[in-house]
Amino acid sequence: MKLAKLLGFKSYADLSMKTKMAGSIENVLEMITTLHVKSQATTLKEIQELQDFAKQNGFGEKLELWDIPYWQRLHKEELFSLDDAVVRQYFPFPCVLKGIFNLCHKLFGITIQEASSNVDTWHPDVTYYKILDSNGKQIASFYMDPYFRSNEKSQGSWMEVGQNHSDVTSSEPLAYMIFNFHPPVSSQPSLLTFEDLKVLLEKFGHLLQHSLTTIPYADVSGLTNLEWDVVNVCPYVMSSFLRHYGTISSLSSHIESGKMISPEMHETLVKKDHYMIGLKLTEELYLSTLDLELYTKREFWTNVTKRLWLQYMPFPFDKTVSQPCSFPEIFCDQYPAAYFSNLWAKMIAADVFSAFEEVGLDEDNKIQQIGHRFRDTFLALGGGCNPGEVFRKFRGRDPCIDALLVSSGMMKKN
């Protein structure tokens, strides 16, 4: 608060908004309120269905918040009797990677080729790739380190920037794609789950934004200087293609039969991914508002927590719970007064992806046109242009909050 006052802002939250696409606390609260009002019926329906399931299985009491994870797991297993081990058989890593390369070629007119020789790597599993434009000219490159190695790699998956694009120094973008997928076993390649597919496509979203930038200066090219609430827009757009059967089938080839994933299995995977999405959204809305309130007002934190819990959460408030103590994100890194950023990125990405859906995801020529427009805006301009302007260049209007509800199945498209 002292820092914000010193710089001429009413609160730290107001200061935070200066480096966000959202631009103001009012815009964020408008998004949160709209999503809460329009998703509330879905959330209550989900909880009632879970309550009925628990009752059918001998649990006679009303579900409390701490009961939810247990009953969710049982309910999910009953609704979607689809084992990850079965799903993985359809997604050998080499096939998935080839499919993603083809998708990038179709959408953005680029070619990704493995460098055949004369490249030093830090491990035999690591591969070096070149990214070529439509004329065959190399415009970027990256290293891919896909597999888990005990005691050698940190957990998680990420894209690390090696070198930014710069016309001043004639530098091409270079990146490192680091994952922790299960390594190949004997002659069998690494097999990916549906969650692995999402992670892989999301990191490719970061890679594309880093590699296809046209901004001439390294300090604002690619992901550099990008507003925190749009950092994950391109990743979410890329992973949204998994909702399209034509795309996910092109990434699949059964390890034994070579068959593509069936439409029925794909539908089940999408429904499983959206399971109780209303409650997940409600929790995210509550935490986003709590974050903003704590960095805006001087009200005592217990009063803020109770007031917002009763406003958003469909469960009784437990006064013994010290909510901020289990909410470390808002005290470190980039998230103080910015926890909403991930939700904002999902909203923008849903609206962006709806442009592809509107022309028909099976219409290759029209999809290519939208893909090239996406490349010329979101992928090309990066931190060198205001994200609101980038969105309007792509969509021709301001963002639509309803797009997120439609994409998650909580609202029918008009």
350: closest CA among 396, 390, 405? 405
Rounded to an integer, what distance in angstroms lies between the CA atom of residue 8 and that of residue 113? 51
CATH number at residue 165: 1.10.1370.40
CATH number at residue 74: 1.10.1370.10
- pLDDT at residue number 320: 81
- pLDDT at residue number 16: 92
Q: How many domains does the chain have?
A: 2
In contact, 243 and 359? CB cutoff 8 Å: no
125 CB neighbour count, 10 Å cutoff? 15
Do 239 and 349 belong together in one domain? Answer: no
- pLDDT at residue number 240: 98
**pTM, entire model:** 0.95
311: closest CA among 329, 338, 285, 330? 285
Helix (H, G, I), strand (E, B) or coil at 172: coil
Do 144 and 200 belong together in one domain? Answer: yes
Q: In what order do the strands lie in the sheet with 158-163?
A: 111-114, 127-132, 138-147, 174-181, 158-163
Domain end point (choices 228, 255, 273): 273
Do 302 and 247 belong together in one domain? Answer: no
With vertex at residue 219, the alpha carbon angle to CA 119 and CA 237, rounded to the nearest 5 degrees, is 75
Do 96 and 231 belong together in one domain? Answer: yes
In sequence order, the 6+-apart residues with CB closer than 8 A to the CB of 90 are 252, 253, 254, 255, 259, 260, 261, 265
- Collect the ranges in the chain with pLDDT lower than 70: 414
92 in a domain, yes or no?
yes
Domain end point (choices 246, 273, 300): 273
**Could you tell me how many helices (H) and strands (E) the chain has, helices first?**
17, 5
- pLDDT at residue number 322: 77
- Domain of residue 288, residue span: 1-78+275-408
